[in-house]
Amino acid sequence: MTRITSDADLEQGMAVLGALHPDWAAIIARTGLPPLRRREGGFVGLCAIIVSQQLSVASARAVWTRVESVLTPLTPERVLAATDEDMRLSGLSRPKQKTLRAVAAAIVEGRLDFGALEDFTPELVHQHMTAVSGIGPWTADVYLLFCLGHRDGFAADDLAIQEAARVAFALPARPKPAELEAMAEAWRPWRGVAARLLWAYYAVLKQREGINA
């Protein structure tokens, strides 16, 4: 696996994308260098991704603090041993409680192997992770991009990336995941940089809306 580990890696991918199409050059001119956004992997890293889903940054941070306080040490074994009261005190929603327990069980039973993911293609990472109940494509994509740092990871299911692509490439409508996946084929093997740029471009769009408001 070729990884994105530094700003130099991002700059290399940006140079390739910028030369690929004028639209990418225009995106890069607006965003500059996007954030690297690497994070811890393994069980703790995946838990953090699950906890943060559909929450604001502040809310996710607050819930994560409670999870780490109640479910300490945060291991698959501790999660499987947690009582319903432990889970309630953690602040997790019922669906997230169920997902964390499913992930913990998959690890203990050998069905989810974080070590094996290190050498998988993006497609195999998806297949391996989404086989666990509660892990969807978006979760697998975020793990692939930011925990594994895969150069060719992508996140076609992410609404912000879809909206950024709609505006940046003057599309008639927000692309569906399959449509965006098809577009992104041309961006291999730098889809991981493309995803970061589109997230950064979405942030630029939201900032512009705020200023106009």
Question: Which residue do the tokens 């999660």 mark?
Answer: 79
d(C-alpha 114, C-alpha 147), whole Å: 10
Q: Delineate the domains of the chain, giving CATH numbers in brackets.
A: 7-36+152-212 (1.10.1670.40), 42-147 (1.10.340.30)
Considering only CA atoms, which of 165, 160, 158 is closest in space to residue 184?
165
**How many other CB atoms are found less than 10 A from the CB of residue 92?**
24
Beta strands in the chain (DSSP E): none
Confidence label for 76 from pLDDT (cuts 50, 70 and 90): very high
**How many other CB atoms are found less than 10 A from the CB of residue 211?**
7
Mean of pLDDT values over 111-118: 93
Reported as a single tens digit per residue, the pLDDT across 155-204 is 999 999 999 999 999 999 999 999 999 999 999 999 999 999 999 999 99
Q: In the numeric block, which tokens belong to residue 15?
A: 């140079």
pTM: 0.90
Q: In the numeric block, which tokens belong to residue 10?
A: 């991002």
In this prediction, residue 55 carries a pLDDT of 85
Considering only CA atoms, which of 148, 161, 150 is closest in space to residue 195?
161
In this prediction, residue 1 carries a pLDDT of 65
Taken as a whole, the chain contains a residue count of 213
Mean of pLDDT values over 141-145: 95
Question: Which residue do the tokens 């297949």 mark?
Answer: 127
